[in-house]
Amino acid sequence: MHTVAQVGFVISVLGILGASAGAFADEPVFPPGSPPADQLHVVDLIEEPSDSVRLMVTTLQGLVNRGDRASLYILVRESDRFWLEYMIEHEYIEGYAPMTVDECLEHYGHVAKSGILYDPELPATMNLATMIAAIDDGIVVHPDDAHRLGDRPVEDLRGRWTTNADAYTWAFDELWPRMNQTVLAAYHPTSIGHHLRDYLVRNRIFHFWVTSEEQADGVTSDFEAEKAVLETILEGTPVNIPVIGFWFSGQDHGIHEYTGVGLAGEYGKFTVVCDWSANLSVISGIPADLDAAIARYHDRPEPPMPEFDPDKVYIVYHVLESGDAPVYLHYVQYDVWKDPKRGEIPINWCMGPGAFDLMPMIAAYYYDEATPQDYIYMAISGAGYVHPYRDFLTRTPDPEAAWQEYLGLTARYFNRMGASAIGLYTDAFFPFNRDEKDPITRRFADGVPGVRSLILGMGRDDGMNAVNGNYRIGDDDVQVNHILTRWPVEHRDMTKEENLQWLVDDIRSNTPDTRPAFMHVMAYSWEYRPSDIVEVHERLGEEYVALTIPQFQMVFDAHGPTEP
């Protein structure tokens, strides 16, 4: 294990040298936080109406938690209380004391050496102000709140730039050399109540935003100009480092998820979605023994293995659409896992390894809470969310070296998980041409030691079915299993009953006539909970046998077809 001081030294060296992430292959991808104080101060912002107050508190939180012990925790959702109590229950902290916003500013105000006033007329300056605050130990303040700064020095960003593109160009020239060289962030200036800014400040993370074509005004905001700056940033930063936050926001669709993830991947960046996550400056430093939790998970009793019947359909249920995102694990899946029917049938859950560094306590929670029927495997697509089949790494200086480094990073976390499968994104719903795609699939099959199966797709790709959707590839005959269902795009307008029957019908319509049959299917994470998956399985009837991924691997190896 590495101490915080050692990790900080490595980050400092990387910042000076501009080295690639692979130069320190044994270091965590994400810088860890400081261990928590015995008693945390907790500020409740759930009902806080002022966006500028949230901005002040979250940027101050990043400075406070940069110390030897992290001591400031904020509530932005009711689920933050769950994790706070969980920390006490597991003795990561002894307790906490409530603190008002004014008490927080008074108690911790001395940590902020300056105030950075952003320009309300130019959204990019909110991100620039956060970066300057991170470098110069400041807090970000709306000009109307400047009186709260007392006699601190003030840097006023109003009127310094006329466009977002100009502001980000200046920031990359002037600020990037002084910032963490191992992480980037895509973050909307007013996104999600500024939840992530504590982590951005604590770790001096460079962040940016591209205004969507729909919302760009052609004056201060311009999609094409900002996209060009983004490409300059992606090209000028190390290969195989993560982009946290997200490319899409509820306030502004930005460059959009599909475009952002794909473009970043071309330049060797992988996405780790955590835009909603609060308190990462605390949670990343919780001393959870994740490796021990993973070991306990692997020591669980094996789920019952059904006797093979050649007349059955062997089916694997996946919840794979969101598990790559630490934010989903943080705020959604913990509630999903309270479902009383979880554990009745095998369900396979994906997890992105970003959670191992950003929130080890939360990752450990899922391993500890898993029943024998819950199987956890590596999420889309390895070390992070990328589109491996769409020009991945093609704009890096040495694509082959970048591939080897990415596969090595994936293998390191995969080995730690002790899993047997990796999910790969396949450009959702487009035709899958094996002549074109197999070389990429083979990279993962041969480049990640120990992988036994690759789960392809986030929904059924055109042309894939239960006859051609399961095959073997690579030197070790790794199984390739395509997802054979989609999800109803209009699911939010459908009743629960309609959603349940939709999935039942989609599974049945993609079940082959031959027996035995083998199917991997997806239950859309935002719609289907364990009780729903149990109901779907019951409606399918006794002809269908649910399996964990390892069970399917054994059955398919013994009884599956030799050719697709």
* C-alpha–C-alpha distance, residues 495 and 492, integer Å: 8
CA distances from 270 to 2, 263, 338, 560 (A): 24, 10, 31, 34
* C-alpha–C-alpha distance, residues 548 and 544, integer Å: 13
Q: List the beta strands (DSSP E) in 364-416.
A: 374-378
pLDDT of residue 536: 98
Q: Which domains does the chain have, with CATH numbers?
A: 4-283 (no CATH), 309-375+428-559 (3.20.20.490)
* C-alpha–C-alpha distance, residues 347 and 506, integer Å: 18
Structure token pair of residue 546: 């649910």
* C-alpha–C-alpha distance, residues 207 and 244, integer Å: 9
* C-alpha–C-alpha distance, residues 564 and 562, integer Å: 7
Residues constituting the chain: 564
Residues of the chain with pLDDT under 50: 1-25, 564
DSSP three-state, residue 520: strand
pLDDT of residue 250: 87
CA distances from 537 to 22, 58, 213, 530, 558 (A): 44, 45, 43, 11, 24
* C-alpha–C-alpha distance, residues 404 and 239, integer Å: 12
In which residue are the tokens 């369900």 written?
A: 347
pLDDT of residue 563: 62
pTM: 0.94
HSE value, Cβ hemisphere, 13 Å, CA-based, for 128: 27
Closest among 3, 2, 4, 25 to 14, alpha carbons compared: 25
DSSP result, 244-274: EE-S--SS--TT-HHHHHHHHHHTTEEE---
